[in-house]
Amino acid sequence: MSSSPEQPPPPMRSHAGWLERLMFRTVELWVVGLLAVAAFLAWTAMSVVLRAAARGDDRFGTAGELALALSEAPEKVVRVVELLVQGDQADLEVEDDRFPAQRGWKFAYPAGSNPAAGYLLSTRYDGDRARSVVDFVDLNAQRSVFQWNPDFRRSTSAAG
């Protein structure tokens, strides 16, 4: 019996190639690659559905509506953050005038010719006065009978 200390065995040389060593690490790279390919395919499918929904094509049905709603989410988040930063200053904003040459009501019959037309209670934003108003409109006479200018800030703060 010899008293010499035992020597560890020499390290075994791996015969695996560099690609095999790369693919079978602690987190297996092939799993990451498979997930990347699946994510790319999902992104492509979402783009097809979103493009069709944005063009008004309803062949994807609810999936198209959902894709469109999801695509608007970042804009809505930015809008909420802006409102939080500005406080309660921006209740209602008109971004552009879609009908620059049109003013008032447009009726399909002459004034006073339809006594059964009734009345309309309408809420709207008056851009000239920069506030919301409530109109009580006589549809036969084709004119506003009365207009309220409620203080919506005060009523919403009292309710909340």
SS (HEC) of the chain: CCCCCCCCCCCCCCCCCHHHHHHCCCCCHHHHHHHHHHHHHHHHHHHHHHHHHHCCCCCCCHHHHHHHHHHHHHHHHHHHHHHHHHCCCCCCCCCCCCCCCCCCCCCCCCCCCCHHHCEEEEEEEECCCCEEEEEEEECCCCEEEEEECCCHHHHHHHHC
With cut-offs at 50, 70 and 90, classify the pLDDT of residue 131: confident
Phi-psi region of 8 (alpha: psi -120 to 50; beta: other; left: phi over 0): beta
pLDDT at position 107, please?
87
Cβ-contact 35, 43 below 8 angstroms: no
Model confidence pLDDT, tens digit, residues 71-116? 888 888 888 887 777 765 555 566 677 778 877 778 889 999 999 9
With cut-offs at 50, 70 and 90, classify the pLDDT of residue 119: very high
Phi and psi at residue 122, to the nearest 5°:
-125, 130
Q: What is the pTM of this model?
A: 0.37
* Domain residue spans of the chain: 20-86, 115-151
Q: Is the pLDDT of residue 135 over 90?
A: yes
